[in-house]
Structure 1
């Protein structure tokens, strides 16, 4: 069998771009393409139209499957450490509706909520086994994606692996510290000349560095591609994941009282305490189905129709610790969580590439329908013992140790009653986006969305919001002083979020419902992109300013009421590097600075950095080198890590500010790679550094881990 080995970054980018558009065809002379590089740049899915990165007025970062494999990534958070300006705030809680991980980007919290451009909510963690590429799209992208699944800072879109036209696959086994065992398989099979099937699957079990805690999951993702004729192609992608875990410790500082802690020391002393047991577990189930039809209407026009359906379920014990504001004690709150979320999405896109006179246009016209329903179940909340983190005791009474077993907890929860409730959201949208080439090296993007919302945005209100119609514009300019090599861009982008009604109290004690308009975020951004050294290296640098208006805030004259009118400003600078400056070397690096403050609203917050903004400074770096000749040929080394500045997990007037310390985490790898197999030894957190994440919480992060990956291709 003949093979073509590709290592140039420009070809890697071209191959990935062409595969996404289904234009790669196996030639008669080449049976397999082996790609040693791992940089993907041009992404049609970012703007739902074919647009090169250098002519795109928006910033985005990507992480593809080759990076995930090379870094021995076994969880979604480690994959995102390659994205400039992103950090995790909360680990997955597993609870219903919003139990997935929370991250921060450009000063605002977000969750991974899109798969192949369609809403796909998760109550747990995403498995890397089915991921082709992760797209982190920066800024408030309401124009193309609406207000239900985005953050003002951006969004995370996961592109799944899809069938290709020849037989192939690989199996991988990873073992490592804390009982890690993970096995994955990726198999692609042509079933006929027009029908292709692919299945990705993974099983993983691991413990934690703490005295209790584990995760066990099974993931399977079958997909099918059917080529009906030279104009029409169908794709069906399915993902199923089941998982059982004991949730990571959620240690909340008291948001309403003055802080009684002034140092991280006591939390470091209890770094390996989980405050739970492996008997108290939570089960998560996720099902996603997408059916897509791509139809070539003519040489200028293409139609894409997508129907998606997802279902998530939660069942099990979720607990957290709540600061009792005496400098030592935390109350354990626990419930047996239950819930189910169903989402339905229907999207129709038409993309045309044509000339209007002498002016080239790339036009997108789309219609979108999204429905979400959440049903709450399980028990209510009960206090279950006090944890004294200074004297290291855990008691339900002053002299009685807490029994963390299902039978003991169930006995207490029997008195809590049942949790019940549900909400439904329906959103109807239409959008249009046109990229006009005013000159060969000057283009403008003009976009608009109209969005009609009914229902409840979240599960935290018993009252439906008022029906709302929202407009969201987007404008962009790109000038290329050197065609396809250097561009200067500017954008104006809008994002919005519908908000729940709130029950307020009049002066006479009577109650009334307060209804609110959607919050709006407006971003302006300027920057530059460059492809250097024969497209082997790329740089993106930009400065942005995001202003969120109409924020819901406490009424300064009656703190238990909520009013609208707050403002938050988030501004900053980002620079990202990607590429292979010399043969055998690959580099991913980035630096971000973010300044996020409340400008208007509740005096408790005005002038303070927002707690969801995370660290002001973030650095990511990963570099590898594979020896090309000599006795070390096919051996490789890798080194990199992440750094974050000190940040305040709690930061408000009257309460105080609690800083989580800055950190530098370093990782390294050794590898040996042949055409068919590879062996990688990965060491993470080399210095065994104790560090924390949080969002009004204090959560210890993973200590030093050693992993061994064995991979075989066929």
Structure 2
């Protein structure tokens, strides 16, 4: 069978013998040999824990989505790929606005965005292109200990591992065409240069129209990467990504947050399901740049140094608009602004990773230092009203042209604003094998924060220190086959200072708040079944967020801390290849969330960011291994979500998006050097919605044809 060297960062290899560990070899750190069977696995070792730790040894739950799934599912966007992780679904599509224009997802009851690439900060205000993805790690729970509080949410984080050079000549060219004028070309070329120098280039060109009456997406993406093996001890890796895109997004349809709901059913939205309420003249551009460099140095047989430096830039220029409920049962008012902003991030990280024994006990230890600087430079215009939309009559009073928008914004001022943060961190995480079957993880992080917590903050925090611990325990009654685990994890978020006064509106002052804190405990089991070809994870978690800001009942001009939110639930994930040729990835999650105290508008209610209570994902792909039908492929999958309370507030009301099930299927022919695939998404042409105090129609049935050539 043909084999290819694909790079992933692995720090040594685990020994199955208690108290022994293999020497750390630089070739094991930078690459691992796998074959073209493209088996699904949920073991991404170092990328998840920064340690040489198998999934079954890790007390934390995560889902790894390998690049093989992208090809099997003919995926052309990030949302299609990440939906293979258990318990995650999209709340907001990309708005392309500055600062936080990327897609919003929810997991374990809390919203999150993808802001990590190879473990380092990387911001994106538009849609992510999947062309350079080697693996996506969806790491569950408040992971403040290893990643801090500014890049992750209490429900977890999304970390993208990029493709890296390997030591042979090879590559792949793919072309996908399909519904809504989809045209997508991708290129992946790898070549040795000389004397330990290897180069890889990934690129994509993508154009696609909306399923609605207007809207489009056009992008060009290129990602050159470099690996230089300077010696047996020293290796350098450089990854860069450039993306230029232009899009005409349908405006977000916001339900009113300040007046009682004037809608009581989906009928008014179903009538305009294929209406975009925009035009292709009102576009936004999101050029992005990301550069990362990494130096891996073998200090000894037991210790390795990993140094990483990263910088990213994401801009938003053009028109940004949204529709706001006029609270009359029909109309929405359009607001528009001229966007012109940039988000910058610079990070430096130093890790020392050890794998050694003290007495008879094995230790796997990472000690790290981390620095992150972020800056948002905002030169957006003021907001202006720009007509109204009637959902019942499908009437729009706006002149949806760039000239019309410019006329509406003629007197809109630009008020420059800059928000900058600096975070300095130190952390360690150690896994100690107390017995062959018993291991304990102890981790701690300290963050020192200064700056503005969000781009909308008006006041700065001069200096704030936060500790974040993590404890885990793993017991393997059957070594490398079955593990029982428990964890305690902590996360945090810095809060914006507020101006407060006494009850008479006198004696104004700036009030600094302690960070919000999330504490999770979790128990569960992991198993490697059917000769280690199928992995299963089942867990129950309980997360409580405290220190939420709430109104002072004794002073309407003051705010106090003490609000609480809880989120609890269970998840089951299955991934693997139980029989030859068959790959399966599936998951089930059930989440219960409620605000216990804090803002009276939310107390006793499920938070809107929590999303649907129940989520199911399933995909099975079978490639016939032998016989006259050898290399024919068929795949089928579906996703299911229960109803979602997109707006849920006391005094305002509850608006519920209905449950849905969307099925997809693929057939193809995949011999060694080329591939042909035909994919149908949303087979039943189901109408369904997402939202977060919004109502957003989702894509209808599409058909895609993919052609690929490997060399």
**Band the TM-score falls in, shorter-chain normalisation:** over 0.9
Note if contact 2:87-2:589 (Cα within 8 Å) is conserved in structure 1: yes
Identify the match of residue 495 of structure 1 among 491, 495, 512.
491
Secondary structure class of the residue paired with 2:29: coil
Moved over 6 A (4+): 17-20
Give the Cα separation in 2 of the matches to 1:620 and 1:555: 43
2:76 aligned with 1:74, yes or no? yes
Over 3 Å counting, the alpha-carbon distance change for 1:554 and 1:182 in structure 2 is farther
Select between 40-49 and 421-430 the one with higher mean Cα deviation.
40-49
Displacement, 1:465? 1.9
Whether contact under 8 Å (2:505, 2:557) holds in the other structure is: no
Measure the CA separation in 1 of the matches of 2:677 and 2:211. Answer: 22
1:437 to 433, 437, 447: 433
- Superposed, which structure 2 residues align to 1:282-681 within 5 Å? 282-395=284-397, 402-510=398-506, 511-556=508-553, 561-681=558-678
2:99 corresponds to: 97
CA-CA distance at 1:432 after TM superposition: 0.7
How many matched pairs?
Answer: 694
Per-residue deviation, 1:627: 1.7
Specify the alignment match of 1:220 in structure 2.
222
2:256 to 254, 257, 262: 254
Q: 2:542 touches 2:568 (CA, 8 Å); kept in 1?
A: yes
**1:3 correspondence with 2:2:** yes
Give the C-alpha shift of residue 23 in structure 1.
5.8
| Matches of 2:27 and 2:389, distance apart in 1 | 52
Distance 1:553 1:91 in 2: 29
SS in 1 for 2:194: coil
What is the rounded CA distance, in whole Å, between the counterparts of 1:325 and 1:647 in structure 2?
21
**Structure 1 residues not aligned, in runs of 5+:** 7-13, 27-31, 396-401
Q: Cα gap change, 1:626/1:570 in structure 2, threshold over 3 Å: closer, same or farther? A: same
The corresponding residue for 2:29 is: 22
Query: What's the secondary structure of 2:268's corresponding residue?
Result: helix
Q: Tell me by how many angstroms 1:565 deviates.
A: 1.3
After superposition, the CA RMSD in angstroms is: 1.8
Distance 2:401 2:551 in 1: 40
**Who is 2:9 aligned against?**
none
1:703 alignment partner in structure 2: 700
Please list the CA deviations of residues 432-471 of structure 1 after superposition, one character each: whole Å capped at 9, or x if unmatched: 1110000001000000001100111111122102410010
5+ long unaligned stretches in structure 2: 6-12, 15-23
CA shift, 1:134, in A, is 0.3
Q: Does 1:35 align with 2:31?
A: no
**SS in structure 2 opposite 1:648?**
strand
Sort the Cα spacing of 1:198 and 1:332 in 2 relative to 1 into closer, same or farther, 3 A.
same
Taking a change above 3 Å as real, the CA distance of residues 556 and 661 of structure 1, as seen in their structure-2 partners, is farther
Preserved CA contact (<8 Å) 2:587 2:617: yes
CA contact (8 A) 2:212 2:275 kept: yes
Worse overlay, 56-65 or 558-567: 558-567
Q: 1:518 to 1:20 in 2, by over 3 A?
A: farther
**C-alpha distance in 1 between matches for 2:101 and 2:27:** 31
Q: Evaluate the alpha carbon distance shift between residue 383 and residue 4 of structure 1 in structure 2; reply closer, same or farther with a 3 A threshold.
A: closer
Match of 1:114 in 2: 116
Distance 1:39 1:300 in 2: 27
- C-alpha distance in structure 2 between counterparts of 1:434 and 1:576, whole Å: 26
Alignment of 1:42-53 (within 5 A): 42-53=44-55
